[in-house]
Structure 1
C-alpha cells in the first residue's frame, strides 16, 4: 500500500479528488497486474482496477489491494464511481492519445479533467530491493550474451546476424524479450549513435558497436560495447581510450547527492578536452527500470540530484563521420557511498 499512499499524497498536493492511470507499466507498478487492457482509478477512499474478462481472474489474483471491476467500458464505470463519491477534480496521465482524451471529455462531462505529467514515473525512479535484484538479473543475461557474442563474431557475419544472435541468446538465457531493437553498427556506420542493424557484412578492421538489452520479469537492462575485428587504427584506439576514461570518470564521481549537471560533465569535460566535444552528441544517460528509457534524464545544467537506489545508465560516446564511433554503456545503481556497477561485461579494448 506504500505506493498507493504516495499517490494519494501527491493527489492531495495537487488538489485532485481522483486520478486515472492508463499507462500499462504504471498499472503494473501500482497493482502487480500485467495485461494489454487495464485502467486504475485511485480516490482518497478506494482504488479500482478495471479490466475485461480476459484478465479479471488474473487481476484478482495479483491486485489484492484493489477492487476489480470487469468491464470493456472503463470510462463508463469510472464515471459511475466518481459520481458515487461526488468527486469532481480528476487527474489523468498526459500520455493518452487525443482520441482517448476526447472519450474522457465525453464520458466524464461535467468534471474537471487535469492532465498530469510523470505522476507515477517520479516514484518509479527509486527502486526497492526486489526491483534491484530483478534488474541485476536482466543485466547478467545481457553480460552473458555479450561474452558469447565475442565467440560468434567473425568477418563475413552480417550486422543482422549479430543482432539476431544477441536477441535469441538473451531469450535462451531467460529473458522475456529484448528491451529495444538491438543496435549493431560496424565500420564507418559505427559513427551512427543509433545505427540499426543491416545486411552489411563485418569486415577485417571494422569497429563494431552493439547496444542492446533485455526484459526479465518486466524490468530492463541496457548496455553498449564497442570492439574491433582484426585490427584497430591508431585513431580509433585513441578514441576508445578517451571514451573509456570518460566513462570511468562518471562511475568514480557518482553517488547520491551528485547533481545531474555534474553527472554529465564528468564525461563531457574529458571528451571536450580531447578535442571531440562536438562528436559527443547525446546525453550521458537515463533512468532504467520498467522502461528502458525512463526518469531521470540528465540536462547539462540541472541542479537536481541523484538519489539512493536510482538505477541509471552511463554511456558517453564519440562519433566521427566517415571514420567510426565508440560508445561504452553500463547500468549503475546509485548508493550513499558511490555506485554499484551492474553491467559486468569487459570494457578493455577488445580486438577479435
Structure 2
C-alpha cells in the first residue's frame, strides 16, 4: 500500500505524504493510535511514524518497515516532526485532512516546506478493498446480523428504544464486535420518519414502524445494516411502503456492477419509489462506501458520475420517510463484483413481528 501511494506521490513531484487521520494511519501502518500521531511517508528517505511516548511500545510492536519516533512527555509532536523533516531534507508534502491546529503549528514551524492537501490519492486506494479487507467486513456484517437477531428476540410493546438498542449492542459485542460502527438507531412510531433518528426514551407500541440501523466492527472494518419492523399488524399503507422499498432495493442491487455510474444505481431505486408516489419522501442517496469509516467514497446519489469498480464495498439503502406516519428503510452492505453484487449482510427482511 505504501509503495502504491508513493508511486502516485512521485508522479506529483512531492517528497512524501503526511498522514494524520487515524484511519489513514492505520490503513498504511497497521497501527491505531488513541492519541494524536502522524505518519510521514517519504519517497527518498525512510518513512516514520511519530507517536506520543505512551504509544511508543505498541507502535513499535505493531508496525514493520517504519522508523518509529516518540514524542517525549512534555514535548510537542510538531517539534519532533519538523526535526525529522529537516534531517530528511523534505521540501514538499501532500497531506490528508489534518486538524487545523496541527496544520497551523506545522506551517509556522516549517515555512520552507510546501504542504498541499490531497485526499483523492488516498481514496483511490482505500475505496477498492482487497480480499482481506472484504473478509473483515464480512465478519463485521455477521456480527450486525447477530444484533438484528437480538432485536427480533427482544422487541416487545413497552420496551424503550434505548433499551432495545442496548440489547442489540450487547449481542454484537458478546459475539465479537470491537465496538459500534456508529451510534445505533432504533427509531419507532412517527420518529421512524427521521432517517438518522437516534434512540430515545420513547416506548415502542403495537402497530409502530421501527427502523433499526446498526453496525459492528471487526479488524477495524465496519458494517452497516438496516431493517424495518412493524410490531404487530401493519396497516395497508405501511405494508405498501415496505413492499415499495424492498422492490427498490432489489432494482438498485442489480445495478451494483463494475462500470456502472453511481447515479444510475440511485436512479434505479428512485424510479421505483417515484412510480409508487413516494418520490418526495426518499430524501437521501441510495448508498455510500463502507470500510474503516462508516461513510466513504463512492457516494451513490442523484447524478453521481463516479463509476463503480470491482472491490468497492457499498451500502444499498433506499428508504421512504412520511412525516406523521413513519419510515421504512432496508439496507445491506454489498461487495461490487463482476459476476453480480454480493450482499455481506444476511439478516432476514422481516416486517410484521
Q: TM-score range by the shorter chain?
A: over 0.9
Matched, 1:74 2:107: no
Q: For the residues of structure 1 that align with 2:136 and 2:100, how far apart are their CA atoms?
A: 35
Deviation of 1:53 (Å): 2.1
Q: TM-score, normalised by structure 1?
A: 0.95
The residue aligned with 1:241 is 243
The residue aligned with 1:9 is 7
* Aligned-partner SS, 1:114: strand
Q: For the residues of structure 1 that align with 2:131 and 2:284, how far apart are their CA atoms?
A: 31
Conservation of the 8 A alpha-carbon contact between 2:287 and 2:301: no
Matched, 1:39 2:42: no
* Aligned-partner SS, 2:229: strand
In the TM superposition, 1:276-315 aligns within 5 A as: 276-315=278-317
CA shift digits 1:16-71 (9 cap, x unpaired): 11221001111110011111232111111221111122222222222111111122
Matched, 1:48 2:48: yes
Deviation of 1:118 (Å): 4.2
Q: Which runs of 5+ in 2 are unaligned?
A: none
Q: CA RMSD in A?
A: 1.3
Conservation of the 8 A alpha-carbon contact between 1:286 and 1:295: yes
Matched, 1:141 2:143: yes
Moved over 6 A (4+): none
Q: For the residues of structure 1 that align with 2:139 and 2:336, how far apart are their CA atoms?
A: 17
Q: For the residues of structure 2 that align with 1:293 and 1:215, how far apart are their CA atoms?
A: 14
Conservation of the 8 A alpha-carbon contact between 2:78 and 2:102: no
Q: 1:180 aligns with which of 166, 172, 182?
A: 182
Q: TM-score, normalised by structure 2?
A: 0.95
Matched, 1:85 2:84: no
Conservation of the 8 A alpha-carbon contact between 1:146 and 1:166: yes
Conservation of the 8 A alpha-carbon contact between 2:19 and 2:40: yes
Q: For the residues of structure 1 that align with 2:118 and 2:329, how far apart are their CA atoms?
A: 35
Q: For the residues of structure 1 that align with 2:306 and 2:162, how far apart are their CA atoms?
A: 40
Conservation of the 8 A alpha-carbon contact between 2:14 and 2:92: yes
Q: Which runs of 5+ in 1 are unaligned?
A: none
Q: For the residues of structure 1 that align with 2:268 and 2:16, how far apart are their CA atoms?
A: 42
How many residues were matched structurally?
Answer: 348
The residue aligned with 1:60 is 60
Q: For the residues of structure 1 that align with 2:60 and 2:213, how far apart are their CA atoms?
A: 38
CA shift digits 1:264-301 (9 cap, x unpaired): 11101111111111100001111111011111112322
Q: For the residues of structure 1 that align with 2:94 and 2:110, how far apart are their CA atoms?
A: 12
Deviation of 1:79 (Å): 2.0
The residue aligned with 1:171 is 173
Conservation of the 8 A alpha-carbon contact between 1:271 and 1:280: yes
The residue aligned with 1:210 is 212
Q: For the residues of structure 1 that align with 2:100 and 2:137, how far apart are their CA atoms?
A: 34
Q: For the residues of structure 2 that align with 1:116 and 1:75, how far apart are their CA atoms?
A: 20
CA shift digits 1:116-155 (9 cap, x unpaired): 2344233111111111111111100110221122111010
Q: For the residues of structure 1 that align with 2:166 and 2:89, how far apart are their CA atoms?
A: 54
* Aligned-partner SS, 1:141: helix
* Aligned-partner SS, 1:224: strand
Matched, 1:29 2:31: no
Conservation of the 8 A alpha-carbon contact between 2:19 and 2:98: no
The residue aligned with 1:113 is 115
Conservation of the 8 A alpha-carbon contact between 1:206 and 1:231: no
CA shift digits 1:236-273 (9 cap, x unpaired): 10010000000011112221111111111110111111
Deviation of 1:161 (Å): 0.7
